[in-house]
Structure 1
Amino acid sequence: MIALDEIDRRLLGMLVQDAGQSAGALGRRVGLSQPATWRRLRRLREAGILRGQRLRLEPGKLGFGVTVFLGVKLSRKAGVSLEAFERAVSGIPEVQRVEHVLGLYDYRLRVIARDLADFERVLRRRIMTLPGIGDVEANVLLTEERFPGPL
């Protein structure tokens, strides 16, 4: 782990807001030259703190009006490995996130759909046919009040 100074933290904060900013633009905002900023960014990448850039799409504006969080408990009788389930569920485009969790369920899935009828189709035809699927609990997202920060 590398030590981060105040400039590193400011750079990370600005990149969280807009990861597409150039090193020159970032440097002007923190009082560094473009090459000095570029070297800091390269150091952060090499340390594994910065990992790529992401584009955040707005699902609702793309026609996906429903987000559902699924708690999935695998059937112990089926004898399916976690890896087999993860491979299969990762192939479903509507499943945006797969999280292996500790607790009542084995996995937490974030699923998007056009509407509730579309979600039901995805659930019945794709998710419930996965290897090892057991109990499933669905929670429909009503509103998202806080978007994740840098950590």
Structure 2
Amino acid sequence: MTPLDEIDRQILRILSEDATQSAGAIGRKLDMSQPATWRRIKRLQDDGILTGRRVDLDQEALGFGVTVFLGVKLATKGRVSLEDFERAVSAIPEVQSVQHVLGLYDYRLRVVARDIADFERVLRRRIMTMPGVGNVEANVLLSEERRPGPI
């Protein structure tokens, strides 16, 4: 893997703000040619640094007004494997992310719902009924500031 220089870092910053930009548009911002910019982007992809591009959806505009972070402690790790829990919880459409964490809880889940009543339905009927689920702690998201990571 080639070490990153300042131009690579600038390309990553630009793409983290808007991944739909063309190599030509990025090159104009950096006073580089389109082919030179494209080659750098291709190298970042080949080296596994740039792993994809994604679309961020506005959950609220789609009707999901509540986001809750759940801390889940498994009650019986021996009877339910971590992989089984991850697979089962990932099948719930409202669960947006599943993170295996170290600390008070075994997992941190990001769950979206239409409102608090909808979240309660998901929690009671889908999550709490899963085998092995022990303690659960919910934290409702009040606001969120999104920032690109350090580059």
User: In the alignment, which residue of structure 2 is the partner of 1:2?
Assistant: 2
Which of structure 1's runs of 4+ aligned residues deviate more than 4 A?
A: none
Aligned residue pairs total 150
Range 59-68 or range 124-133, more displaced: 124-133
TM (normalized to structure 2)? 0.95
> Are positions 1:147 and 2:146 aligned together?
yes
Between the aligned partners of 1:2 and 1:67, the Cα distance in structure 2 is 40
Between the aligned partners of 2:95 and 2:17, the Cα distance in structure 1 is 25
2:117 partner amino acid: A
Between the aligned partners of 2:51 and 2:79, the Cα distance in structure 1 is 35
User: In the alignment, which residue of structure 2 is the partner of 1:45?
Assistant: 45
> Are positions 1:66 and 2:66 aligned together?
yes
TM (normalized to structure 1)? 0.95
The alpha-carbon deviation at position 77 of structure 1 amounts to 6.3
Between the aligned partners of 2:102 and 2:77, the Cα distance in structure 1 is 19
The alpha-carbon deviation at position 139 of structure 1 amounts to 0.6
Change (3 A) 1:77 1:147: closer
User: For residues 1-151 of structure 1, what are the structure 2 equivalents within 5 Å?
Assistant: 1-76=1-76, 79-144=79-144, 146-151=145-150
Question: What is the SS of the residue equivalent to 1:7?
Answer: helix
Gaps of 5+ in 1: none
1:26 partner amino acid: I
Between the aligned partners of 2:71 and 2:115, the Cα distance in structure 1 is 19
8 Å Cα contact 1:96-1:109 kept in structure 2: yes
The alpha-carbon deviation at position 109 of structure 1 amounts to 0.3
Between the aligned partners of 1:46 and 1:131, the Cα distance in structure 2 is 41
State the Cα RMSD in Å.
1.2
Gaps of 5+ in 2: none
Question: What is the SS of the residue equivalent to 1:97?
Answer: strand
Between the aligned partners of 1:69 and 1:77, the Cα distance in structure 2 is 21
Q: How high is the sequence identity, in percent, across the aligned residues?
A: 69
